[in-house]
Amino acid sequence: MADDDYFRLLDRAKDVLPETIENHERFELPELDILQEGKITVLRNFIDVTDKVRRDPQHLLQFLLKELGTPGNIDGRRAVFKAKIAPQNIKEKIETYTETYVICSECGLPDTKMIREDRTLILECEACGARRSINVRKSAKPDSANVLREGDIIDLFVSDIGKKGDGIGKYLDYLVIVPGSSKGTSVRAKITNISAKTAFGQATTEASTR
């Protein structure tokens, strides 16, 4: 075959090939922009996330509120959670939502849509045509007996002293810090602030509420 014929055939082949044969880029969510303002947590680029996953903002919001156990609302492009929530916790819940409601289990792409057939919610992939039922994981209801809240009054055994000289003890799943308490003593403390699994208390003479 002459060189001219070869290159002519090559050009014709290029003309009929799609510009992108296959995209192997891994799907990634936008980096979350989270701000904590006192007892309020704000996801400032919430709508960027819903745009990326192509889902109704209210659908994702209701999922997050249920999973995080807090009230909240959409404010412009932001989602506002009326509780102090660790950014990693929000990130994990959004990843769970994406795995459940967005990513195709066959090709791994996010090019899907949700449709309802009878009472079953189906995830249909527009890229490979795969279909699967959406199995929503039921969240275990938190045991209120194992949840510490601001304002609770507890009896705490101080088992250690922190670098700043504050007494530290373990209560339920929380690390409780009580300034002015001594190692090896028991103290009655009123919880004044909670951040994730760390709580801060103030010594008090009030009767225990727990």
Domains of the chain and any CATH numbers: 29-102 (3.30.30.170), 104-141 (no CATH), 144-203 (2.40.50.140)
For the chain, the C-alpha Rg in angstroms (whole number) is 26
**pLDDT on residue 139:** 52
Distance CA 21, CA 156 (A): 63
18 pLDDT tier (thresholds 50, 70, 90): very low
**pLDDT on residue 122:** 94
**pLDDT on residue 119:** 85
The model's pLDDT over 158-176, given as tens digits with 9 standing for 90+, comes to 999 988 899 999 988 888 9
Strand partners, 74: 79
Strand partners, 125: 112
Is residue 210 over pLDDT 90?
no
More confident site: 3 or 135: 135
Assign 202 to helix, strand or coil. Answer: strand
**pLDDT on residue 197:** 83
Instruction: Say if CB 74 and CB 46 are below 8 A apart.
Output: yes
